[in-house]
Structure 1
Amino acid sequence: MADKDQNLMEKNNIIRAGVMGGNDGILSVSGIILGVAGATSNTGAILLAGFAGTLAGMVSMAMGEYVSVSSQHDAQKKVQNIQTKALKDNYQSEFDFVAEKYHEVGISQELAEQATREMMTKDPLVTTVRERYGFSPNSVLSAYSAAIASFISFPLGSLLPMAAMAFSPQAIREAATFLAVLVALAMTGYFAARLNGADKRHSMLRNVTAGIFTMLVTYFIGSLFR
């Protein structure tokens, strides 16, 4: 059962990193190319800026995911060390904490102590870490998997705004890119909400609003240098 839970958590972590990477690729690169498009009509310069932003974003997102998940591992390891020492120095205090926590949620005192005794006999560290800090030491996510997912999904997200800018007629390419990005952001907002169990409409609206703001600001700033 623990292996199944771990596999599900790892899968969700990879999907989360992928959705975030793709969303950031859409938003960041569209902001870059629309900002440059506001300053110049040179298609080559616009696409070169987008390509450079894509390369930078791939590395940035991957390293960000790696550092973030690794930092989480470090914090969890510190907690485990604290609890290992606590169990060694004052086992009864840790036992009483877990039993009292179970009793507070409505379990009888006798049954709470029995459940605590059985679980702490099996694995006291996992039990006390879970009840004190809300995570299981067995649930360790892969920093490498999250980094790779972001590294791959970021350029995939950047493809749509780049393609819209490259292949749309020059007279409407900014508007075409703008609309293409809004559709893509609505999609990533929807899938992120499905993954997190959040409100889909709110997530889509939040993504689209952030995209509109980013693109308008960058295009306006770029136009000041036209």
Structure 2
Amino acid sequence: MSDSSSIVPPHEPHAEGLAARLNWLRAGVLGANDGIVSTAGLVVGVAATTNNAQTILAAGLAGLVAGAISMAAGEYVSVSTQRDSEQAVLAQERRELAEDPEYELAELAGIYEQKGLSPATARTVAAELTAHDAFTAHAEAELRLDPRELTNPWAAAGSSALAFTCGALLPLLAIVLPPASWRVPVTVVAVLVALAITGSVSARLGGGKRGRAVLRVVVGGALAMAITYAIGSLADTISG
């Protein structure tokens, strides 16, 4: 019989890493939802004023590009600010470790005592972690940060722009591919179905009630298209 103490348990992802991946996925779903709603509202509004497919396509493409750039820029600024804050607190922690390692060791032991370890065990754990990698041990225990996995503003910007673009392509294709008389009805149906899917997915990822989430995004998208179509029809009437 083999010694069970020699068996290495299979690797399991940390809860923090799983949560981070879910947050990225949720952000992607919400970005796609934004692309669907904003582009659908734009092309439906334009379709209310003209039957020219080239004009509608040009307006939709302009909205897609502008929206994707805006989403990317906003996400880049937001995540850059977050990363700057993370780097600042990590730099401070590195200085504190260099200036007063004994105090930092006692502080780390105190954290593990608060988690339920005895003082002696907490001190031993803190000492061994400090000997292995003091900076990472303190960053994870005190700041809940992994210095090796800081947020990446470029990745955030790129994923945000990609999600928005993927979402925006649906109403853009739905408005230009059908015959003129079917453009708006096809777009409305396609958009509402897509929003129902994104609402369901976001509810599942967030652990919320699916029906409420679906209703919220579907009603919001329907209102957006109805309002822009009404504005486009009014503008067409006034100009005509």
Bin of the TM-score, shorter chain as denominator length: 0.7 to 0.9
Bigger Rg, which one: 2
Deviation of 1:12 (Å): 5.9
**Contact 2:192-2:222 within 8 A present in 1 as well:** yes
Instruction: Give unpaired runs (5+ residues) of structure 1.
Output: none
Separation (CA, whole Å) in 2 of partners of 1:218 and 1:130: 49
**Contact 1:161-1:177 within 8 A present in 2 as well:** yes
Query: Counterpart of 2:71?
Result: 61
Separation (CA, whole Å) in 1 of partners of 2:219 and 2:104: 48
Q: 1:141 to 1:16 in 2, by over 3 A?
A: farther
**Contact 2:83-2:152 within 8 A present in 1 as well:** no
Separation (CA, whole Å) in 2 of partners of 1:215 and 1:93: 61
- Residues 58-111 of structure 1: per-residue CA shift (max 9 Å, x gap): 222222333333222211111111111122233333323322222223222222
Query: Counterpart of 1:35?
Result: 45
Deviation of 1:120 (Å): 1.8
Query: Counterpart of 1:165?
Result: 175
For 1:178, the aligned partner's letter is V
Query: Counterpart of 1:199?
Result: 208
1:188 maps to 2:188: no
**Contact 2:79-2:152 within 8 A present in 1 as well:** yes
Separation (CA, whole Å) in 1 of partners of 2:107 and 2:101: 10
Deviation of 1:53 (Å): 0.3
TM-score of the two chains, using structure 2 as the length reference = 0.76
1:100 maps to 2:110: yes
**Contact 1:102-1:112 within 8 A present in 2 as well:** yes
The 5 Å alignment of 1:84-95 reads: 84-95=94-105
Q: 1:106 to 1:210 in 2, by over 3 A?
A: farther
**Contact 1:17-1:147 within 8 A present in 2 as well:** no
Task: Indicate the larger mover: 95-104 or 178-187.
Answer: 95-104
Deviation of 1:52 (Å): 0.8
**Contact 1:30-1:158 within 8 A present in 2 as well:** yes
Separation (CA, whole Å) in 1 of partners of 2:209 and 2:196: 9
Q: 1:103 to 1:213 in 2, by over 3 A?
A: farther
SS of residue matched to 1:47:
helix
Instruction: Give unpaired runs (5+ residues) of structure 2.
Output: 1-9
Separation (CA, whole Å) in 1 of partners of 2:17 and 2:153: 14
**Contact 1:14-1:145 within 8 A present in 2 as well:** no
Query: Counterpart of 1:73?
Result: 83
The 5 Å alignment of 1:8-23 reads: 15=25, 18-23=28-33
SS of residue matched to 1:123:
helix
**Contact 2:171-2:187 within 8 A present in 1 as well:** yes
Please report the RMSD computed on the Cα atoms of aligned residues, expressed in angstroms.
3.1
1:155 maps to 2:165: yes
SS of residue matched to 2:148:
coil
**Contact 1:58-1:150 within 8 A present in 2 as well:** yes
Q: 1:210 to 1:112 in 2, by over 3 A?
A: farther
1:137 maps to 2:135: no
Separation (CA, whole Å) in 2 of partners of 1:17 and 1:176: 27
Separation (CA, whole Å) in 2 of partners of 1:206 and 1:108: 50
SS of residue matched to 2:98:
helix
Q: How many residues align?
A: 224
TM-score of the two chains, using structure 1 as the length reference = 0.80
